[in-house]
Structure 1
Amino acid sequence: MQRVVLVHGIFRQSRVFRKLALQLQQRGYTVHTPDLFHQFGALGLVELAQQLAKYLDTHLDDGEPFDLVGLSMGGIVSRYYVQRLGGIDRIRRFVAIASPHFGTWTAYGFPRKTALDMRPGSSLLADLNRDVTVLDRVQTTSIWTPWDFIIVPARSCCLPVGRIVRVDVFPHGMMAWHDRSLKAVVEALAAG
């Protein structure tokens, strides 16, 4: 049975994935939706990735591979887990939905540690992007919309590795709900 872990963004919790989780369960996936707590921005993305790693070590501790999907900030948290905490050896597929891989200018509007890590040129993003090609070891998909006014510029959502899938969904918040983006996620998980 295929397993998938869905990692939420900064201002939502796991319930943002209700519709996607149901679609995946109907296709036979076992779905995990951990809640990560950034304490209103006081924790950085490294600490959130450590929370994710702890969840995965507790709930998926059998050594079997799984797929990892991150929404917005959750995509960067997931990347840190994959690239820095050993996740690359545990996952088959990585799907990032509207995630600011190269930062977002809107992060300047939330002056807390969580958002500081998502500013263009942040040390965390520079570190992850230095060896982004490690993601070539798994099936990687970036899903983005040109109508994303939270991730600015929207092309920041496009990793330089793997597949890039454009969906015309407006706005950023609908990327977890809209049929087009959910279809893109399902297809990315079914690929290869």
Structure 2
Amino acid sequence: MTSAVVRAPAPLLAPVEQRAPVLLVHGIDDDASAFDAMRARLEREGWVHLQAISLRPNDGSEGIPVLARQVAHEAEALRARTGARRVDVVGFSMGALVSRYWLQVQGGRLVVRRYISISGPHAGTRLAWLRRGRGVRQMRPGSPLLRYLQSERRPWGEVEAHSFWTPWDLTIFPASSSRLRGACERTFPVLLHPWMIRDARVIDAVVDVLGSPAVAR
């Protein structure tokens, strides 16, 4: 006698008109195309307003605050284009740290509803010692920028923050550097760092978080 496979029910998604526009921020050496798989899935699920940005430069030679201002500019353009009061932000790797800096230091938390960090170097990565560049130095464990961000006791304001990471990450090393105080946390058994934004399980979780009905505050 065979047993049927019981699948988890699909998450209840908010109506399309209640979803916030989404800004996608890539990692080092990437560009907007890194999010092609995630963007395609979000579009299939009904998202209309999606913006994947390309940071310049993308190699870590420029500082995190400079790149964060690019995120701020794109977020304001997205809000102006859609008329939305708040946006959702998904940041991957260096892009997660750049987005976090914008949220905490440059006023982003006033206009962001949900923030998903995917494998961000929030406590630094030892691999940053192998490269040069202002932004790379800021991603080294114990850098002044990371210590400053960590010193804020209540960094998120009204933002709903999430941290997705894989314990097997060898790019963000140690992998636990991707943890965020005050954020909802999920780990995924993904073998390689770049696969995190292409893995179906991670994308499912992104859809679930961004599409979940808003909770009254």
- Same fold per TM (> 0.5)? yes
Alignment of 1:86-101 (within 5 A): 86-101=107-122
* 1:24 and 2:42 correspond: yes
**Which 5+ residue runs of structure 1 have no aligned equivalent?**
none
Hey, what does 2:138 align to over in structure 1? 117
CA contact (8 A) 2:85 2:111 kept: yes
Deviation at 1:132, TM superposition (A): 5.3
Hey, what does 1:166 align to over in structure 2? 187
**Does the residue aligned with 1:137 lie in a helix, a strand or coil?**
coil
**Which 5+ residue runs of structure 2 have no aligned equivalent?**
1-16
Which of the residues 66, 80, 89 maps onto 1:68?
Answer: 89
Q: Which one has the bigger helix percentage?
A: 1
Cα separation, partners in 2 of 1:73 and 1:39, compared to 1, 3 Å: closer
* 1:185 and 2:206 correspond: yes
CA contact (8 A) 1:168 1:180 kept: no
Structure 2 length as normaliser, TM-score? 0.84
CA contact (8 A) 1:132 1:161 kept: no
Q: Deviations over 1:142-166 (max 9, x none)?
A: 0000110000010110111121100
Q: Could you tell which deviates more after superposition, 21-30 or 76-85?
A: 21-30
> Percent of aligned positions with the same letter in both sequences?
34
Question: C-alpha distance in 1, partners of 2:151/2:89?
Answer: 21
Hey, what does 1:149 align to over in structure 2? 170
Cα separation, partners in 2 of 1:63 and 1:31, compared to 1, 3 Å: closer
CA contact (8 A) 1:102 1:156 kept: yes
* Runs of 4+ more than 3 Å apart: none
Structure 1 vs Structure 2 CA RMSD? 1.5
Structure 1 length as normaliser, TM-score? 0.94
Question: C-alpha distance in 2, partners of 1:71/1:39?
Answer: 13
Q: Deviations over 1:79-123 (max 9, x none)?
A: 111111111110110000000110000011112112111100111
Deviation at 1:138, TM superposition (A): 1.5
Alignment of 1:15-54 (within 5 A): 15-29=33-47, 30-38=49-57, 40-54=59-73
* 1:140 and 2:173 correspond: no
Question: C-alpha distance in 1, partners of 2:198/2:29?
Answer: 15
Cα separation, partners in 2 of 1:110 and 1:132, compared to 1, 3 Å: farther
Q: Could you tell which deviates more after superposition, 89-98 or 111-120?
A: 111-120
Hey, what does 1:108 align to over in structure 2? 129
Question: C-alpha distance in 2, partners of 1:90/1:136?
Answer: 11
